[in-house]
Every structure is written in C-alpha cells, then in structure tokens.
Amino acid sequence: MKLAQSAVALHGVGPRLGERLARLGVDSIADLLCLVPQRYEDRTAIRPLGGIRPGEKVLIEAKVELAEVAFRGRRSLLCRVTDGTGAITLRFFHFSRGQQEGLRRGVRLRCFGEVRAGRTGLEMIHPEYRAVDADTPPPEPTLTPVYPTTEGLHQQRLRTLAGQALAMLADEPLVDYLAGRLPVDWPSINEAIEFLHRPPRGADTAMLLAGRHPCQRRIALEELLAHRLSLRNAAAGRRRERAPAFDPADDLVACFLESLPFELTAGQASAWGEIREDLGEPVPMYRLLQGDVGSGKTVIAALAALRAAASGCQAAVMAPTELLAEQHQANLGAWLKPLGIKVVLLTGSLTAAERRAAQEMLASGAAAVAVGTHALFQAAVNFRQLGLVVVDEQHRFGVHQRLSLKRKGESGDIVPHQLVMTATPIPRTLAMTAYADLDCSVVAGLPPGRKPVRTAVMPEQRRGRIVERIAAHSRAGRQAYWVCPLIEESDHVESSAALELERELTEALPGLSVGLIHGRLKAAEKEQVMRAFKQARLDVLVATTVIEVGVDVPNATLMVVENAERLGLAQLHQLRGRVGRGRDESDCVLLYKAPLSEHARERLKVLRETNDGFVVAEKDMQLRGPGELLGTRQTGIVELRVADLARDADLLPMVVRLCDELMTDEPGCVAPLTGRWIRAGAEYAKV
Ligand code: ADP
Ligand code: MG
C-alpha cells in the first residue's frame, strides 16, 4: 500500500511542500499520480515566424533587430526579432537594465511564449527567453507537461515528484475500476497515467495538444464518471428522505394568480404543473428550473413559496447578490402580503438590530418566507419549519455549495423541497455532469409582446456616437445601462473605472442624470441608486457586472457593454437580458477594444445572431478559446481537471452507461472512484 502513503513520504517533500500539495487536493502518492497534466507545451521544434498564429504557444529562434523602450500606454521594452521568414515583437512591462542590455541588436534569441495579435503585428508578452550560444541545448525531445498548480509550487518540482511516484506505480498499479468494461483498444488506467505524465518519444503530438489522445480520453472518461457517480449516488441516498407534503391550497393559488397583472405563459404553466405535483408528495423535490432571462421564473418561485406557507411551512429564497435579493423581497413581498404572508430580507449588510428582528421572525415562524443571500444559511439563522429552499441563479453557486445548503433545513428525517433556478441555459453535456441528481423543468418561451433585443458589435472608438445616441434615447424618455466590466482582477480597479466613466458621461450629457452602481457600495446605497433608476429619476446607470442577474427595469431599453470581448457569452447574454423587458424595441451595443482576435469576433457574432439563451450556451461551450477551462471560475458549476465538456461530449453516453453499471454491480467502487477525481476545495492557480 505504498501509493496510499502521504505524499510527504516522497523524497524532498517536507511539511511546507506537503501543505502546498494538499491545496491541490494531493494528500497521498496516488493522488499525485492522478494529478495528470492539464495540457502540454510543444518545445520540440523551432517554429518559423512566418507560420505562427495568435493563440499558439511556440518555441522560436530569431535575431534582435531593434530594441527600444516605449512610453506610449504603459512603459515597456519592445524588442523586434526576425528569422528571415517573419518578425515578432517581444514586449516586457517589467525589465531590468541588465535585461535591456542583453537584448542588443544582432543577438540571437530562443524564446517560448504565447503569440498574440498586437497593435503592430504579432507579439509575445514576457516570453521565456535565452541568448543562443554553443551551450544552448537542442529542443526538448518530447512534449512538456503542464500541471495544475498552486502558488509557490513550480512545474519543475511537480515533474520531479511525478517521476518518483511513477517509479512506484510499476510495483503497485492503481486499481482499474473499469477493467473489462471498456472497448479492448482502450488503455488501462495505469497505461494512461504513465503515458500522460511522460509522453514517450514519437507520441502523437497533435492529438495530445488537442486533448484527444486515447490516454487523455481514458482519464476524461473516468473523471466525468466520477462526477456523475457522486451526484447519482447522492440522489440514490435521498430515496429514504421524507419531506412535508404541501397542501394544494387551490383557493390561495387562484387568488394569487388572479391578483397578477398578467396570465402565466404556457411555458410557466407547464413548469409550474411539474413543480406543483412534486410539492404535494411526502418526498423532497430536487428540481432544476431552467428558463431564459426574462422568462418569468420569479412568479413560479412565489407560487411554490405560497404553497409552503399555506402548509404551515417556511420557504427560503437564496439569491447570489444583495441587489437581486432585495428585488425579490420587494416582488415577493408585494405579491404575498395581500394573502397574509410575511416576507423578510436577510443579507449580510443588515444592521445587527435588523438582523436580530428578521431572525426572530424566522425562528418563531411569524415570517413564512425569507429572501436573502448566502447569509440565510449561516449558523445563527434558524427556521421554525423550513419546507422549501429556492436557489436563484444557481450558476453563480458551485455544486458543492448546493449540496451543503440543504442540510440547513433538515430536522430529523424531514428535509425541505429544493428548487434550483437558472437563467443560464445549461448545455446538455453540462446538465448530465453537474445536475445529474436533479429533475429538470424548462420555462419555454418569453411573456408575450417581447421584442428581441437588437445587438450590435463595434470598436470602442465609436463611443462618441454611442454617447450621442444615449442623449437622443433619454430625450425620448427611455433609460440606458452602461456596463463597464471587470478589467483587472480587483474590485477596486473595477469600481474606479466605473467612477471615471460616470464622470465622463455626466460631463458629456449635460441635463441628464447619470447614476453609478458597483460592488463596493453599501447595500443601502445600492438600493437608493436602483430605486432612483427604477423610478426613472436617473437616465443612465453606469454599472459594473453587479447588475448582471435579475435586475428588472422595463423602461431601460439600451444596454452598452464595454470590453465585451473579455466576458463570457453567457454573461453577456445575461447582461443583455436587462433590456428588452418591456414592450418597446431594445438595443444592446457591445464595445470591444481593437484589435479583435478571430476567435473573439466569432464569439461576439453569436450574440448578434441569436437571442436564444440555449443557443448562446451551446456556442459558448463550443467556442471557448484554447486552454480555457470550464472550471469554477468560468461557470461556477463544475471543476474538471482533464475532461472538457465541449471536447469530450461524445463520451457522455458511455459515462451514463458505466455509471448505471457500476452503481448496480459494484457499489463499493463509488466512493474510491469519486474520491480519486473530485477534490472539494482544491484550488488551482491559472497555468
Ligand atoms: P427571470 O426568469 O429572468 O427571473 P422575471 O421573473 O424577473 O424573469 O420576470 C421578468 C419580467 O416579466 C418581470 O417584470 C415579470 O413581472 C414579468 N412577467 C413574468 N411573467 C409574466 C407573464 N406571464 N406575462 C407578462 N409578464 C410577465
Ligand atoms: Mg430571475
């Protein structure tokens, strides 16, 4: 059982390194073997400059033609190199005097880095480089593995450790849980692991770089299987659970529907029909409600909450942002109050007294509905009888958050019903991996009278024209959003960019009132701004992506998004969903910083061509850039290490079959298999 030993048993691993490995989810030596490279770098051949393209990571050799310090924009050292077939500029933002001197005209360099499309042609930013001399080794004989890693743990270190672990694998192979269940030409788990850590000479480079090598597919299959097994297993474990069967409350429901200024759409009615059935059963509902932005999911949540209240139970509605929680509280409060149902708000920014008051009402049962952020599920919050949990905009919460959330409502054997709502339509492959434990309902279509949002994509140089358009737009009594998303990894930078934009627009639009909302405002301040915008006391709302989800102001019919090329398609679709909520024609203008890569152009085109969130989601998955992972950071849903839901979608039928087989024939392997691939809490740095 040497592989089960702690990684600290390896040569050169002390407590500190052990801790860093643990952050990657690596405790045992076997874990280290399963930490297979995420991707590979090709340092096996020197590429002629004439044949390289943006997005590729390449090894090049070329002569310095010109090196100069430029002050335009950010001070940087620019070094133009050529090899007779083409040229590229190396760009350094940080550089020492020595470095600057080393990059003299005529020096021959070997560089490795990512090719980008710069202002004046191809660029490499901060490439690894060395001057070529007699000691320069030949290119690497095989592909270089790149491991998922974490702060303070270098690739070279991981390569060495993997080598030690591999040496042990020869004596003690890993258990192959899929032996005999796969087509005969598939590699075993041990063959795959060995190959991927050390791709041998002559390995199929193109396949490995594309992530399509049979050994990568073997691991991807097992990883996807582990995710599905863990969720199906959770679902199977619930068969014994009991939930309160809700009263049909037909009269109250009729009264509520009567009070609405609209009728349910066919899509709403059919989704509600499924939920209504579930809520009447004495077993917990676990249901995902998908519906495009603006399809009207909130009413369905209100109906479910109403049934809970009518049955002497409570409902908790969790939203990902305070802004959205406040809006839900306002809506649900207004809808349910006439029926004698009290709705309280619980967010992190209540005063101590407000919080205490809300908590008391929930503990005593005086309030039947609680709306809030994750603050709802903190230890100090107790419900008298929680019967329903609604999670809105689920894509902002991870799978594990979702699973831990339900514990809150458990009392004895009784667990609450769970309704998970999302406006990010989920591609089928993702649903089968991340939501395999849920039943699914879809709100098809939008309320009547909605016109599709017209979407235009343009370079930010056209800003002046947009500002004029806003002026005309406001004179016509309409309102506009201008979103200025995260451009650097900090809240602070983001809010100051928004502040600057607000100043600029205030100046350029005399006579109009421009408001500002961002994540660093206090909840009360945000609410004030939002109220002013809702009441049309503001013409333009400058915002960061805090308004991405749920905000509902039908009179706002123009949405401008800056730096659109940096946002995900699903996120842009969400932002666009802030307009087109009334009966008027709406527009969305996506501004980008030129030059736009081919790939970014393709992505933005999708939004111009469709308003259908499901199409956007599928395309988003297919069009992710090279090396982009569909991890927690991107979607908040599943963290996959090797598998890629777009690339490996064709494995899913096999995953489903194997999952069923193993759960029936070999339930004992569920725990070790999921433990092998799912590392809750592991944090990877970007590599
Ligand atoms: P989402 O599904 O994005 O959460 P909301 O629940 O916020 O959508 O609904 C969007 C808007 O549509 C709200 O103003 C809501 O009152 C309105 N709405 C919901 N259902 C209908 C309907 N059946 N007919 C007309 N308007 C509706
Ligand atoms: Mg919503």
Of all ligands present, the nearest one to the C-alpha of 552 is 1
Quote the mean pLDDT of the chain. 88
* pLDDT classification of 202: cutoffs 50, 70, 90: confident
Of 402, 418, 443, the one marking the end of a domain is: 443
Which helix (DSSP H) or strand (DSSP E) does residue 559 occupy? strand 556-561
User: In this structure, are 317 and 432 located in the same domain?
Assistant: yes
- Residue with CA closest to ligand 1 atom 13: 296
List pLDDT tens digits, range 515-565: 999 878 887 788 789 889 988 999 999 998 777 666 788 899 999 999 898
* pLDDT classification of 685: cutoffs 50, 70, 90: very low
Inside any domain, residue 240: no
Q: Check if the beta carbon of residue 131 is closer than 8 Å to that of residue 111.
A: no
CA distances from 647 to 209, 625, 629 (A): 13, 12, 11
Which helix (DSSP H) or strand (DSSP E) does residue 335 occupy? helix 322-336
Token pair, residue 342, equals 């009290």
653 burial via Cβ count (<10 Å: 0-12, 13-18, 19+): exposed
CATH of residue 428: 3.40.50.300
* Atom from ligand 1 closest to the CA of residue 291: 2
- Residue with CA closest to ligand 1 atom 18: 296
Among 144, 649, 681, residue whose Cα is nearest residue 398: 681
Q: How far is the CA of 459 from the centre of ligand 1 (A)?
A: 33
In this predicted structure, the answer to whether residue 389 has a pLDDT above a threshold of 60 is: yes
Among 491, 565, 523, 165, residue whose Cα is nearest residue 324: 523
Q: Check if the beta carbon of residue 54 is closer than 8 Å to that of residue 124.
A: no
User: In this structure, are 382 and 269 located in the same domain?
Assistant: yes
Q: How far is the CA of 374 from the centre of ligand 1 (A)?
A: 24
- CA torsion 36-37-39-40 (nearest 10°) is -130
CA–CA separation, 352 and 502 (whole Å): 33
Test site for ligand 1: of 299, 324, 574, most ligand atoms within 8 A of the Cβ = 299
Q: How far is the CA of 493 from the centre of ligand 2 (A)?
A: 28
In this predicted structure, the answer to whether residue 491 has a pLDDT above a threshold of 80 is: no
Q: How far is the CA of 299 from the centre of ligand 1 (A)?
A: 7
Across 623-646, b (16+ Cβ under 10 Å) vs e yields bbeeeebbbbeebbbbbbbbbbbb
Test site for ligand 1: of 260, 295, 298, most ligand atoms within 8 A of the Cβ = 298
Q: Is 644 left (phi over 0), alpha (psi -120 to 50) or beta?
A: beta
Inside any domain, residue 77: yes
Q: What pLDDT sits at residue 628?
A: 46
> Whole-prediction pTM value?
0.72
- Half-sphere exposure in the Cβ direction for 434 (13 Å, CA): 29
* Atom from ligand 1 closest to the CA of residue 577: 3
Q: How far is the CA of 293 from the centre of ligand 2 (A)?
A: 7
- Residue with CA closest to ligand 1 atom 10: 294
List pLDDT tens digits, range 63-118: 999 999 988 777 889 999 999 999 999 999 889 999 889 999 999 999 999 999 88
Q: Check if the beta carbon of residue 622 is closer than 8 Å to that of residue 646.
A: yes
Test site for ligand 1: of 260, 264, 290, 295, most ligand atoms within 8 A of the Cβ = 295
The CA-based diameter of the chain, rounded to the nearest angstrom, is: 89
Q: How far is the CA of 296 from the centre of ligand 2 (A)?
A: 7
Q: Does 456 or 445 have the greater pLDDT score?
A: 456
In the predicted model, what is the mean pLDDT of residues 555-581? 89
List pLDDT tens digits, range 206-265: 899 889 999 999 999 999 999 899 889 888 888 888 999 999 999 999 999 999 999 999
How many Å is the Cα radius of gyration of the chain?
Answer: 28
Q: What pLDDT sits at residue 161?
A: 94
Q: Check if the beta carbon of residue 124 is closer than 8 Å to that of residue 91.
A: yes
* Atom from ligand 1 closest to the CA of residue 264: 23
Inside any domain, residue 210: no
User: In this structure, are 515 and 384 located in the same domain?
Assistant: no
Of 610, 640, 663, the one marking the end of a domain is: 610
CA distances from 488 to 544, 548, 568 (A): 12, 18, 15
User: In this structure, are 474 and 555 located in the same domain?
Assistant: yes
Percentage of residues in the chain having pLDDT higher than 90: 57
Which helix (DSSP H) or strand (DSSP E) does residue 68 occupy? strand 57-70
CA–CA separation, 318 and 332 (whole Å): 13
User: In this structure, are 370 and 423 located in the same domain?
Assistant: yes
User: In this structure, are 160 and 85 located in the same domain?
Assistant: no
Domain that holds residue 527: 454-610
CATH of residue 116: 2.40.50.140
Give, as one character, the DSSP assignment of residue 339.
G
* Atom from ligand 1 closest to the CA of residue 299: 6
Number of domains within the chain: 4
- Residue with CA closest to ligand 1 atom 20: 296
Which helix (DSSP H) or strand (DSSP E) does residue 278 occupy? helix 266-279
Among 229, 237, 332, residue whose Cα is nearest residue 284: 237
* Atom from ligand 1 closest to the CA of residue 268: 23
Inside any domain, residue 684: no
Q: How far is the CA of 548 from the centre of ligand 2 (A)?
A: 10
CA–CA separation, 647 and 638 (whole Å): 15
Inside any domain, residue 675: no
Q: Does 124 or 492 have the greater pLDDT score?
A: 124
CB atoms within 10 A of CB 668: 10
CA–CA separation, 338 and 554 (whole Å): 24
Among 558, 581, 263, 557, residue whose Cα is nearest residue 423: 581
**Proportion of the chain in helix, strand, coil states, percent, rounded to 5:** 45, 20, 40
- Residue with CA closest to ligand 1 atom 23: 264
Q: How far is the CA of 583 from the centre of ligand 1 (A)?
A: 12
CA–CA separation, 388 and 279 (whole Å): 9
Q: Check if the beta carbon of residue 297 is closer than 8 Å to that of residue 324.
A: no
Ligand 1 pocket residues where CB is under 6 Å: 262-265, 268, 291, 293-299, 423, 447, 550, 552, 581
Token pair, residue 216, equals 């990568």
Across 405-443, b (16+ Cβ under 10 Å) vs e yields bbebbeeeebbbbbbbbbbbbbbebbbbbbbbbbeebbb
In this predicted structure, the answer to whether residue 340 has a pLDDT above a threshold of 90 is: yes
Q: Is 386 left (phi over 0), alpha (psi -120 to 50) or beta?
A: beta
Q: What pLDDT sits at residue 263?
A: 96
User: In this structure, are 79 and 158 located in the same domain?
Assistant: no
Cβ-proximal residues to 261 (8 Å cutoff; 6+ apart), any chain: none
- Half-sphere exposure in the Cβ direction for 125 (13 Å, CA): 10
List pLDDT tens digits, range 307-331: 999 999 999 999 887 878 988 999 9
User: In this structure, are 311 and 268 located in the same domain?
Assistant: yes
Percentage of residues in the chain having pLDDT higher than 70: 92
Test site for ligand 1: of 324, 422, 552, most ligand atoms within 8 A of the Cβ = 552
User: In this structure, are 258 and 185 located in the same domain?
Assistant: no
CB atoms within 10 A of CB 167: 9
List pLDDT tens digits, range 607-654: 999 988 888 888 887 776 433 444 333 444 567 788 888 788 899 999
Inside any domain, residue 418: yes
Among 327, 305, 575, 558, residue whose Cα is nearest residue 419: 305
551 burial via Cβ count (<10 Å: 0-12, 13-18, 19+): buried
Q: How far from each other are the two terminal CA atoms of the chain, in whole angstroms? A: 32
For CA atoms 349, 354, 355, 359, the dihedral sign is negative
- Pure H helices in 423-522: 428-434, 463-475, 491-508
User: In this structure, are 21 and 54 located in the same domain?
Assistant: no
Inside any domain, residue 405: yes
* Atom from ligand 1 closest to the CA of residue 449: 25
Across 529-548, b (16+ Cβ under 10 Å) vs e yields bbeebbeeebbbbbbbbbbb
Q: What pLDDT sits at residue 635?
A: 43
Q: Check if the beta carbon of residue 589 is closer than 8 Å to that of residue 458.
A: yes
Strands 587-592 and 76-82: unpaired
User: In this structure, are 420 and 479 located in the same domain?
Assistant: no
Among 315, 255, 252, 319, residue whose Cα is nearest residue 285: 315
Number of H helices, E strands in the chain: 23, 21
Q: Lowest-pLDDT range, 114-118, 388-392, 400-404?
A: 400-404
Q: How far is the CA of 182 from the centre of ligand 2 (A)?
A: 43
Token pair, residue 678, equals 């799912």
Q: How far is CA 408 from the centre of its chain?
A: 25
User: In this structure, are 267 and 322 located in the same domain?
Assistant: yes
Of 610, 627, 654, the one marking the end of a domain is: 610
Inside any domain, residue 680: no
In this predicted structure, the answer to whether residue 486 has a pLDDT above a threshold of 70 is: no
